[in-house]
Amino acid sequence: MNGRVFLTSYGGGHAQIIAALVPALQSAGFETDTIGLTTAYALLRRQGVAAKSVEALVVPEQDRRWLSLAERFLGESAHPDITESQTRAYFALGLRDLALEMGEEAAIERVEDQGRMAFCPVDAFRRYFRRTTPDLVISTTSPRFELAAQLGAHAEGIPGLAVGDLFLEHERQWILQPGYARQLAVLSEPVRRSMEADGFAGQIRATGNPAFDRLAIVAQDEPRRRELRAALGIGQKRLVLCPASSSSHAKNGQAFLSPATFARKMEALCRRRPELTYMMRAHPNAPFEMPSECKSGHNPDSSVMSVEDAILAADLVFVECSTVGLQAALMGRPVVCLGFADYAVYPRYGLAHVVDDLDEAIDRIDQFTSLPSEGAGIPPLGTATDSVIGYVTDIITAHDPGKS
C-alpha cells in the first residue's frame, strides 16, 4: 500500500496512540509525517518516532508578526519537554487564526482572557496540508490543535480519521460538529453504538486502543514484575499505585486531590500498616516532588518508569480520573475510582470499584482484591493497531483507488 499519512496529537496517552501507529504504518508501506503537540514531541522522539514539533506549522515570512506578538504570552515553561520556541510558535499560530476570524485586537483580548484554550488554528493546518498534500489526516480526539487539524483536513478535501482513547463521553461536543473527521476508531462496541445513537454520521469501527496493545505482553511478564519490585525494594509489601492527575481543575464541581495530599494520606496509612507501601507516578505533563516528610512511598521519574511498568509492579491502583485506571483494569489489577466514577466512565462497565474519596478507599483497602467484573466489549488486547492500519488502508483506497 502506498500513501502519505499525517498524524498529530497532544502528549500523555494520546501520544502513545500515535507512537503505536507510526511504525505500523511505515511497516505497511505508508509514508508518515508526524507533528507532536506540546509534550508529545519529546515523548514521540524518545520512542523513536521522527516527529516534528509545532514549529513545523510556522511559515516565517507570513508569521513574523504573530511570533513577535506571542512574546507577551511567554512565561516560565510549565514542562521541561516544551521549549520556549515551541511555546512561541504555538501562541503565534493560535493568534494568527483568531486574528483572521475577529481582528488582531480582539484576538489578543481573547487570548489574554482564555489563554491557549482559545486556539483552534484551522487555517494554519490548511496551509500546511496544501504544502504537504497528505492522503489521510489522523489525530486523536483532543480539542484545539487536534480539532483544527481535522477541520483543516475536511476543508481541504482530505479524509480524516480520529482515533479515540477511551469512551468519548466528553469529546462529543466537537466530534459531532460539522467538518470533523468522517471516520472514527473507537475503544469498544458499546462506544461505537453510543456514538451512532448520538448522531455521528460517518463511519465508525470498534478497533480498541492501539496504545493498549503492548499491555497484552506486559501483563504476563512476571519476571519483569519481580525485577521492578526488587529495584524499588518492596519485597512482599502490597504496593498501591496512585497516579497523580495532570490538572488541579475541578470536574463536576469537585477538585482533584493534589499529589502532596495523596502522598501524605498514603504515608499515614503506611505508618499504621507497614505491610503496605505506595507509589506516586506523576502525569508526564505535571512532574512533582514528594513531600520531604514522606519516606514510605516511591516517586519514580515518569520519563523513566512507564505507566505499564508502574501497573505491573503494583497490587492495587487508586485513580481519580485517569486512563491509568482503564489500563490497570485491562492488565487485571484491582482498580478503585475515587469520587469521579461518572466522569471516568469505565467504572460503569465493571472495570473499577467506586468510592467517594481517598479516605473511604483507605478504610476499605482490604476489600479490593479483584475487579468487580470483566469485559466492556473491548476487542482483545494486542489487535487494535492492526485494526486501525486496516481501516487506514480502506479509507485511502476508497478515496483514491489508485493508492491500493
Asked if residue 129 and residue 12 are part of one domain, the reply reads yes
The model carries a pTM of 0.79
CATH of the domain at 251: 3.40.50.12580
Asked if residue 274 and residue 320 are part of one domain, the reply reads yes
The answer to whether residue 53 is domain-embedded is: yes
Side-chain half-sphere CA neighbours of 338 within 13 A: 24
Residue-level pLDDT at 94: 95
Segment 187-208 mean pLDDT: 94
Residue-level pLDDT at 18: 98
* Host domain of residue 164: 4-213+382-403
Q: 3-class DSSP state for residue 317? A: strand
Query: Distance between CA atoms of 370 and 11, rounded to whole angstroms?
Result: 30
Q: Which long-range contacts (CB under 8 A, 24 or more apart) does 295-301 make?
A: 295/267, 296/266, 296/267, 296/270, 296/271, 297/263, 297/266, 297/267, 297/270, 298/232, 299/263, 300/232
Residue-level pLDDT at 368: 95
The answer to whether residue 375 is domain-embedded is: no
Side-chain half-sphere CA neighbours of 231 within 13 A: 14
The answer to whether residue 376 is domain-embedded is: no
pLDDT in tens, 53-75: 999 999 999 999 999 999 988 87
pLDDT in tens, 73-105: 887 556 888 899 999 999 999 999 999 999 989
Strand segments, DSSP code E, in 25-170 are 31-36, 136-139, 160-163
CATH of the domain at 172: 3.40.50.2000
The answer to whether residue 373 is domain-embedded is: no
User: How far from 214 is each of 17, 162, 307, 396, CA to CA, in Å?
Assistant: 11, 21, 11, 26
Asked if residue 388 and residue 243 are part of one domain, the reply reads no
Asked if residue 125 and residue 209 are part of one domain, the reply reads yes
CB 222 within 8 A of CB 260: no
Percent of the chain whose pLDDT exceeds 90? 67
Asked if residue 241 and residue 300 are part of one domain, the reply reads yes
Determine the distance from the C-alpha atom of residue 256 to the mean position of all C-alpha atoms in its chain, rounded to a whole number.
18
User: How far from 109 is each of 91, 102, 319, CA to CA, in Å?
Assistant: 13, 11, 37
**Host H or E run for residue 388:** helix 384-399
pLDDT surpassing 90 at residue 15: yes
Q: Which residues contact 260 (CB under 8 A, 6 or more apart)?
A: 288, 291
C-alpha cell at 336: 478503585
Residue-level pLDDT at 127: 97
pLDDT band (50, 70, 90) for residue 259: confident
Q: Which residues contact 316 (CB under 8 A, 6 or more apart)?
A: 238, 239, 240, 241, 333, 334, 335, 336, 365, 368
Count of domains observed in the chain: 2
